[in-house]
A and B are shown apart, each in its own frame.
Chain A
Amino acid sequence: MRGRFRPGVFWGSGVMRVSVAVLAIAFVVVALLPRQSQFLFHALGEPLADLVAIPVKGMATLDRTLREWWMQYIALQGLSQQNRQLRETVQQLNGEVNRLREQAYMAERLALLLEFQEDKSVRTVAARVIGRSVSNWYQGVILNKGEDDGIREQMGVITPAGVAGRIVRTSGSTSTALLTTDPNLVIAGIIQRTRDEGMVQGMSQGLVRMKYLPPLSSVKTGDAVVTSGLTGGFPRGVLIGEVDRVEESEDGLFRTAQIVPAVQSRHLDEVLVVVAPRSPETMLSPDHALIAPGPQNPTP
């Protein structure tokens, strides 16, 4: 290494100077005019997003196919010790079983989604997760449905197990959802047993906490936390998680509950986007819960 910075080389080129100036100005604009810059970026990027979605969807399909093929391949490797005839038979059967099992899992998931869609009065759009956030700072998933299917920003994302997140970006054919475990997502929640209200917010550790609970609240470990329906995007009563620990807030004015989220974001395959959380005929009584605390997300 020469160990000496050479300003002549750095500033000598006009392209360099322009590059540095443009970058610096862009940083300042994004920092000082966040709303306007977001609008500008969105306007520029939206037409491109549909084009980019094509290779993303193709790659997601290829990935899914290869994973299924690989799982079948691994399953068949264990049978190599048996005799040739039996092995061939077992290989065929195993392959068949694996294929059917995959289909059964998928059918089970889709049936749950369908049943959920039919039973509940909210209007939803089923979508598949085709990609995940490429950043460690924002926990998000890319869905294969977008504005063309009626999905808009701020709509809630749920599964039969509970709340999964909220839509934060849309294009014609795709959308991006921020997950409940992200610290930047806040949902109005309610303790199902005590009816205490609070704000549910993600934590960097992959957990969720409920803030601003009354100091005299009798919330305890194991209590179910559901959406209050007060903020847009979610119907009342969708399960968010289960209270794991309760502690006093730092200022002593409120209590804070640590929650284990009902939906494990790593296992998200299919989700429902709530396009109409409260239809007029289903305005619910405060105690009515759309989803009772149930089994964990059944996706593998």
Chain B
Amino acid sequence: MKISAYTLLTLFLFSFQATVLSSFNPFGIQPDFCLVIACLIGFRTGPVHGLIVGFGLGFLQDLFSAGPFGLHTLTKAGAGFLAGIFARNLSNREAHTALVPVMACSGLSAMVFLLWSRMGMGLGEMLYGFSYILLPQAVLDGLVAIMANWVFGRWLVEAPSP
């Protein structure tokens, strides 16, 4: 049952982000909804679930990505897993508590992409990527996570007691 639900969720989420949400890019930065959801699944249901959902979402992103294969798969799986580990040290999972772990996971994931895609292009490109892509995206992902976590907590996923 859970596997079917996660499969449907990943398929829907990926298709939705690649098409409908592709024009939603405040300040020229597109929030990574797949990463946010992978983190929140890990955050609310445990690191292994986060890892599995992150792996699935990342793999789908990799199938249609213009970058090298495997980066989305591994970073999303890692992000879901790390968010789950982080949540184990929290006494509650209120909406705002998702901000820091999702920002951190987004930043770490983006750092992998920054090093992979801009390495060897000069310091200017690296700094631009860090300042104008990595940091704004981490903040945006964190804000989206607060809203999504609120929705999750209210209607969708019942968080286990820590």
Contacts and interface: CB of A to CB of B under 8 A. Distances in A.
Interface of A: 1-6, 9-10, 13, 15-16, 19-20, 23, 26-27, 30, 34, 37-38, 41-42, 45, 48-49, 52, 55-56, 58-60, 62-63, 130-140, 142, 168-169, 171, 174, 176-179, 182-184, 203-205
Interface residues on B, range: 35 or more
Nearest to B126: A204
A183 B30 contact: no
Contacts of B117: 137-138, 183-184
Nearest to A30: B70
Interface in B136-157: 137
A138 B114 CA distance: 10
Interface of B: 11-12, 14-20, 22, 29-30, 32, 34, 47-48, 51, 59-74, 77-78, 81, 85, 88-91, 110, 113-114, 116-118, 121, 125, 128-129, 132-133, 137
7 contacts: A10-B85, A37-B69, A45-B69, A52-B14, A59-B20, A169-B69, A176-B66
B19 A136 contact: no
B137 A176 contact: no
A183 to B, nearest CB: 6
A130 B69 contact: no
Contacts of B11: 52, 55
A136 B17 CA distance: 13
Contacts of A176: 64-66
Contact of B64 (A6, A174, A184): A174
A203 B126 CA distance: 11
Contacts of A34: 68
Contact of B47 (A19, A42, A56, A60): A19
A11 B30 CA distance: 35
A133 B65 contact: yes
Contacts of A203: 125
Given A140-B65, A204-B133, A59 B19 contact: yes
A38 B19 contact: no
Given A1-B90, A2-B89, A10-B85, A137 B133 contact: yes
B109 to A, nearest CB: 10
A56 B19 contact: yes
Given A16-B48, A134-B30, A1 B66 contact: no
Given A137-B113, A178-B66, A23 B128 contact: no
Contacts of A183: 117-118, 121, 125
Contact of B74 (A3, A30, A204): A30
A52 B103 CA distance: 29
